[in-house]
């Protein structure tokens, strides 16, 4: 199994994701250039965090037109695993691979800190190494992480169990105080209808080694490895 990590102009978490996959999870991984259509026979794609194309226009609005995202759309349509982290989540929404949009944080401030997220659906290729309702500690770092969708979309996400992560307190309580950006219903991550695409604002690659203070994020990568191995 092989991971691919996309590099856009302005990506700044691509090397972090690469390191975690190669050095911590011990899996083959390659970088994928934004101007190339070639996904190099990868089995899973990471759309990393950062500021793709400088976040001009709005986050992800230019990245969605890149050649590599055309290939990612085809890859995802065929059932390939795609994980969008932070700016990657924004890009997936702009590309139409996930519903909704990421808006400016409530308070209009950049927020960078560890947060608690509850696993709302442990039966996905990205969370199968977690327990249902488990609370993970994973850092965030964003200015536009305020997830929004209309009522019909929200009802659909709820009904189909496509809300994968919610911001909570350390004991798993959904409160406004635990919501760092104003996201509707404390949503921190969602999946596509087929479950093979997930976007999340927290950075699991920043919580994958003891030296970083937490290893909960590694469960996301272990889940993907397990899902690919089970195919």
d(CA 221, CA 20): 9
Q: Is the dihedral of CA 23, 29, 30, 31 positive or negative?
A: negative
**How far is CA 118 from its chain centroid?**
14
74 catalytic residue (yes or no): no
From 94, 120, 144, 205, active-site residue: 205
From 42, 86, 130, 149, active-site residue: 86
Reading phi first (left if > 0) and then psi (alpha if -120 to 50, else beta), residue 140 is in beta
214 catalytic residue (yes or no): no
Between the alpha carbon of residue 124 and those of residues 83, 129, 193, the distances in Å are 12, 9, 11
121, two tokens: 């659906």
205 catalytic residue (yes or no): yes
What amino acid positions are annotated as catalytic residues?
86, 203, 205
């Amino acid at each position: 199994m092989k991971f691919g990590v996309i590099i856009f102009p302005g990506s700044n978490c691509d090397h972090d994701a690469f390191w975690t996959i190669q050095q911590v999870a011990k899996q083959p991984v390659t970088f994928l250039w934004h101007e190339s259509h070639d996904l190099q026979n990868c089995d899973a794609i990471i759309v990393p965090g950062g500021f793709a194309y400088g976040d001009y226009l709005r986050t992800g609005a230019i990245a969605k037109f890149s050649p590599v995202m055309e290939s990612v759309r085809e890859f995802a349509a065929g059932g390939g695993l795609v994980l969008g982290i932070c700016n990657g989540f924004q890009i997936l929404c702009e590309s139409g691979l996930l519903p909704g949009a990421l808006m400016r944080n409530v308070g209009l401030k950049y927020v960078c800190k560890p947060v608690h997220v509850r696993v709302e659906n442990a039966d996905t290729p990205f969370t199968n190494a977690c327990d249902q309702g488990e609370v993970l500690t994973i850092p965030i770092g964003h200015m536009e992480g305020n997830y929004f969708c209309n009522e019909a979309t929200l009802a659909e996400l709820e009904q189909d169990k496509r809300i994968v992560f919610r911001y909570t307190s350390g004991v798993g309580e959904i409160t406004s105080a635990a919501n760092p950006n104003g996201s509707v219903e404390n949503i921190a991550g969602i999946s596509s209808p087929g479950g093979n695409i997930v976007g999340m604002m927290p950075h699991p690659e920043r919580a994958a080694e003891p030296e970083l203070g937490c290893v909960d994020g590694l469960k996301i990568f272990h889940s993907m490895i397990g899902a690919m191995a089970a195919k």
